Structures are given as C-alpha cells and as structure tokens.
Chains A and B, each alone.
Chain A
Amino acid sequence: MKYYDKLIFELSKEGRVGYSLPVNQFPQAPEVPVQLRRAQPLRLPQVSEPDVVRHYTNLSQMNFGVDTGFYPLGSCTMKYNPKINEEMAALPGFAGLHPLMHAGLTKGALKVYQEMNKALSAITGMYAFTFDPCAGAHGELTGLMIMRQYHMNRGDMKRTKVIVPDSAHGTNPASAAVCGLEVVEVKSLENGRIDVEALKPLLTDEIAGIMMTNPNTLGLFETEIKTIAKLVHDAGGLLYYDGANMNPLMGVVRPGDMGFDIMHLNLHKTFSTPHGGGGPGSGPVGVAQHLEDCLPDIRVSGFHGNFGVILRAYAYILSLGKQHLRKVGQYSVLSANYIKESLKDVYKLPIEGVCKHEFVFDGLVNDGAHDDVPGATTLDVAKRLLDYGFHAPTIYFPLLFHQALMIEPTETESLETIDSFIAVMRKIAAEAAQDPEILRQAPHNAPITRPDETLAARNPVLKYEW
C-alpha cells in the first residue's frame, strides 16, 4: 500500500467531462422559475473518465479488505464474501425492478423474500421475518418497536424499560433510547456471564424485556439462558436476541429454541454479504409466532429493505444448504479456540474455558514496561499487526477489560493463515517485551502513520474548501 494524496476536487479542470448522455430529442420545457432556481454555482469536480478510474483505483490501494488479508475484527464476522453472490445481485431482472411495482410484476423478487423467510426461520427457530431493516442497529430498533407494540396491543402501557447487560454492544442501549425505552443495566459476573441474582430484582412490571446476545460479547455462551428466559417471561417481559453473534450457532443452536421471542440477523456478518466499508448491510428481524401480529405495524425503511443484500445472502444460503450449515458454526468456534489456546501464554486471558466464535484478551502478559519506559498497549499491538499484513482485532471493547483485544477469526480462514497470524502475534509479544517503542511507533509501513485525532476533533475540517 502506498500513500496517495489527491482528492477528486484537486484533479478538476474547467470544461473536462466524464459522462456520456444521449442527445436531447425533446422540445425545450419551460425553465425553472427564477425564484425557485439554484442561484449558487454548482461546483462539482470536472474530470475525465480515466481521471476518475485512476483516482479511485489509487484510493482503493490505501484500503484493506477481507480479500486483502486476514481480518479478525471481533463481533464483525469478517468472513469471505463469495463472488457468485455479487453476480446474482447484479442481474438486470433484479437491479431494474422499481420498488412500487405491484406483486404481479415482481414474482421473482417476492419468491426470494418468501424463500428467505423460510430459510431464516429454519436456521433461527423463529416464526417469521421482516426484511425492512437495513443494518444490525436498525434491526435492533425494529425489534424493540415490536416489543413495545406487543405490550401496547395488550394495553400494558407501563412497560417502558429494557434490561441490557453491561457487556452489550453500544447499539443496544442506543437503540433502546431511540425506541423510547429506558435502559436498565444488569451486571456481569466475574466469569463474564449475566448475573442471574442481579437480574431478579430488576424484573418489575415496568420491564418490556431484555436484550441479549448469546454467545455474549466475550464469546461466552450464556449457560443460564434457560433460567433467564423463564424469569423474564414469568415477569411478563420478552427476550430479544442480538444476532451480531449468531455465527457460532449456525447449524448447531437456534435462538428460538432457547426462548428468544424477537431477534435480528446481520446478513453482512453471518450470511457473507460484503461489508462495503460500513454498509450496506441488512438486519432482518424474526419473531416468534405470538408476535406475528405486531409486524405489520412497523415501517422502518422506505420500501422493502436492502433487496440487493438479501439476494446475496440467499445465494449464500443456497450454496450452504442443509448439508454445510453446521460447518459454519463449528469451524468458526474451532478457529477461535485454537487461536486462544495458542496465544494465552503471551496475552492475558481473563476468562478461561471454551469460547464460541470469538474471545477477548486483556492486553499483553509482558508489555515491556520498565523504569521510565511505558509498556505497549492494546492499541500498539493493533497498530503493529498492520505492519505484518493483518487487520487488527476489535480493541477496547467490551468495556469490561481495560486492554480488551477481541479476536474473531471466522470459519473461512485456512489453518495456514491462522498459524501465520499466531506466529505474528507471538512475534509482536516478543517485540513488546524487548522494545515496546517499536510497537508504540507502529504502523511503520502503512500508507500513513498514526494521525492526530485530537486535532481532528478540536478543529473539525469536514469538507473540502475550494
């Protein structure tokens, strides 16, 4: 990767064009009345097609994707994105469909939704899905709306609080707030799991439900889920399943069977659709049968959700079929445990035992701190990994550990790739013990060195001035 410094505006040259439009065959329409007309000049780049292609090719070369290398970003499930999915989503008979065409014109698209509904219900043990949400957090919000709608339909208006574990993804409490719910936090035990005793007194008649992910954000299975489900249901609440961590359960365990009433899936995580630099995703929401009536009341996006993403996920499910689904879950768990066991002598493992698809280290065993020399932190380890051609894990999340380093390898990496990652992680640990400054100055061979984020926040420059 090499540093390239241009912005598209800096390539602009008066009069240059990069478009090809048909000759206007129509009589001239009336001009936009002057009081309704744009008065300011329109300053867009004036560049040729080759300029555009070279510029964005150069930009792309400062980027790292799953196709570039190993991307063990915890909680993000950066698995390989099969290319057939891309080709299927781009078929003109799908890409050219107007969203307001009636059912008679869109039979193929509707069949995709029906088949996906069946497939996701089979995989999760839910009864029916809505495909409107466009991302995971959007799915959470939709699911919480369904939760509230359920209570409202029963005339139970006082259930305005939702329980969220302290280890939850930040989107959980944020989604609750957008949905008008007050967040009640439940603490984790030292083993990282929900404290059932601490949960009990929280379960009042004001509780709409609980948001959980299982395995939780430490990659640990919530072994008390049966008790938790019973307690919450007995108190009149519902259980929401955050599907961000569904990958290890693929083909092995179904959220619906564990007692969850509502859940979302991240098709861009578990179902292999590309993350696109932060979207588009898709966050379909499934509900148990007793909540089906609440679905039609909820309209959270313009049309039918991110159809293009749903098509990709459908192609993925068909390629797995009932024969291979189980391998997704099992191999993701196998890879994670193998890495954990191979590195726990040099990185602090706060919670022993078998994990699911991901796990969390709490920094280096020996960070190299001595005398006045500060030790290497998790941030430094992450930056040093970039030098060795790996993406960094998720860092400083979950908040339960100060030096959290959350690793999720996924099922699509070979043993050779995983072993080379382990070797590099060990090498970095050795470097830290020897000379932490090497890590503190990393990355050394990325397109840029560490940027001044304080400057960016204190003096925001958020657009190009020209």
Chain B
Amino acid sequence: MITLMTLAPLAAAILILAMPAQRARFTALLGALVSFTLTSWMLLQFDGNLIEVKHQWIPDLDINYHVGLDATNALVLFLAALLAPIVVCISWKHSDRPKTYFALLSIQFTGLFGTFTALNFFHWFIYWELALVPAFFLIKLFGKSEDRHKAAINFFLFTVLGSVAMLLGFLFLYQNTESFNFIELPEKIKSVEMNSLIFVAILAGLWVKVPLAPLHIWQAPAYAAAPTPVVILLTGVMSKMGVYGFLRLIVPIFPEQLRQHSEMLLGIALLTILWGAFLALRQTDLKKILAFSSLNHVAYCVLGIGALGIAANELKVDAHELVKQGIILQMFAHGLSAAGLFYLVGLLEQRTGIRNRDEFGGLCSVTPRFAAMFYSLTFCSLGLPFLAGFAAEFLIFSGSFALAPKMTALATLGLLATAVFLLTMLQRVFTGPINEKYQSMPDLTRNEILILTPIMILVIWAGTYPKTWLSFSQITP
C-alpha cells in the first residue's frame, strides 16, 4: 500500500511521457489523487503503531526495501499527499511544455512521498535526492523571473552540498553500526563509540534543507523565482523534509549529541526566527516576504528540536511530548497556510503581473473574497488562536519554555515581528485608496475557491480541534 502510494505519481510520470501532451495534466492529477486516496485510507486505519513493509534487497549490506507509517510521519505524509493534487490543480492551465512540466511534478511527488515513508537509509537517500532534482529543473525551466537560473543553481548547490555531507555521515555511521535501518539504529548506536563529526555531517544536510541561518540564503531567491505550484511544494513540503529529518534521524539516533549541542541548536533557531522576521520586514516582493516568513515559521520547529535535547527533570508538564507534537502540528499548519498564501500571491501576480507590495492598495474593496481568504491565512500565519498556527506554536512554546525558558521567551519576539510584517503587507496591499490600475481586477473564481476550500477547512479544523490531527502523531494506548 505504501509502495503503491509512493510510486503512483512516478508511474504517472512515465505515462505522461508516453502520452500526448493534452492528457498530461489528467494523468498527473490521477497519480496524485491515487496517492492521496491511499494515504487517507491508511490514516483512517492508523492507530499510531508502526505499519511497515519490508523486502530484502541486499541483505549483506543491510540494504532493504523498508517503508512504514508511524506517528512521526503520518501527518506530514498526509500533508504532502494533500498538497500534491492541489498543486496539480493549481497548474491546470499550464501550457508551456506540459509533458515535461507534469512529469517533473509527478516525479517530485514520488520523491517527497518516498522520503517521508522510507525507513532504510539507502532508498531514503535516493528519494531525498529525487525530490531535489525535479525542483531544480522546474525552477530553471519554468521560473518566471530573470534570475531563475542563478536561483536554481544556488538552490541545487546548497542542497547537494548538504546532502553530500549527510551521505558521508551515514556511511561513517554504517561503518560503526552496520545498519541502515532507521528503526533499529537507535538501539544499535547505544553500543558503539560515536564520532561527533557524524552528527555534524548529518546535521549539515538537514540544516540546509530546513533551512537555518546562515545557510538560508538560497531560499528567498529560489522561492521568488520558482513558479507558484513549485513554491508551494518547496515551502509546504520540502522545508518539512528537513524538520522531518530532525525528528526521524537526529532525535532518536543521536540523543547524546543532541543533548550536547542543544544550546547551539536553540541559538541557531532563535537567530533564524528573528533574522527571518526582520528580513521580511524590509522586503517589498510579496513572495520574498512569504519566503522569509517561512524561514521564521519553520525555525520554530527547530527551536523545539533544540529543546528536545534538554532533559526534562521534575517538570509538571510532559515537555518533550508537547514539543514533539507541536513540531508535527506546526509542520502541518505551516504547510497549509504557506501553501495557501503562496497560491494567493501567485494569483495576484497572474492577474496583475506584479508582486510588489507597495504597488497595490485598496484591494479589500475590489476583491472582497480574495481579501477574506488572504486575511484568514495571514492570521493563521501570525498565530491567531482557533487557526492551526496558534495551536502548533503554543504547543512548541509550552514545551520548549519548560525546557529552555530564556530562549523561548526571546523567540516570542519573532511572533511580534511576524505580526508587524504580515500586517504591513495586508495594509499595503488591501487597504488605503484603491489603485486605479487594478480597479477591475477579478475576484476569486469558483474553481479557485474550490482549491482553497480544503486548505481553509483544515486550517480551522486543526486550530479549533487539533485533537483529530494529533491522534495521528500520538500512539494511542
């Protein structure tokens, strides 16, 4: 089932290449929908315990085909599977080299799903890289701005350098433990002497992917250059790969190293949170504002990871579990809200051709439905209660405050700065006198609202009643 779910988009990609161009989008949608349906069906039966599929491949090297669904990846897999059909729908009207485009998208879906389900390092790494390559081509071939080539190369180089470091780290790890199995590694690692360089190498790969300061500089140009559907994948799912990597690799496999380096991680996360927020304050390009906002939001997850490294002694709250659930929910929440916001900015760009915050004005009265959606998602992003962002951030903060009070207290400054730049964005775009040029800008169409509806529903659902969603990330007793 998991295998089918992972490979369905890949099969779609192969079919797309074999079929006439006008059927490409249907095939891609079909592949994504198959994955989504299978994922939903699996989640309905999921009770928090590991569901796994294991086939021998090269047993001598402990390389096996091993995929599974457990509390760590269930929600983020669902997010990826949900965004996949949405992304295809968003690019429905795409007419430039459709075969290449949809095939690349589908391949990327497979890469993403594979990364979230794989439990053996070998093919996990293959998927990890598989998710990267189509993104590179999608930015380079289908990006709009002039600097897309540079942005794509930058993105690729940074990520590949990180991946190389991680690969090396894992090879050393294999030498020490002779295991590639994510489930068994935590046990095996206890009995061997570990070089902290291995930890650093793996950390580096995730560091770039998340990204964290100071390796974040690929992010904003790449987000700004990429076509909207690709940005949605980049911010909605790919940045989650990094955080997921932390949860899957760093937390269970390197508890000791995490403990030693937690101060550093907390510091870096704090730096990223504040830096991202302050950078966003100065931008006028809407996509860059959202890119830095993403940087800031995903860094809350890493703040939580850093806090997980601190031992919980005599606390009145179950801080580690709070943080862990908060991180998972934050991935989910941010994936949804960022996807929605980038989609809306993409629509704005499509309608007006620009995305400079200062060139709009008064859109509130021109396009009320558009504004309502944009406001709601922005409020989710700035952590307004009863929307998904707040529940997640509160859980992270409540846990990490118990573990690392000072750092967390400082990190709340990020919430303040987030409010400032998001509200400034709303103010410039939607309020004030109406810009004559965009007076007749069309409001959201029925189809566009239809695409946004699942996102909105989930944002509100996860905000008011996160229990449903957290039941997937907690092992039900």
User: Do A and B bind?
Assistant: no
Chain A residues within CB distance 8 Å of chain B: none
Chain B residues within CB distance 8 Å of chain A: none
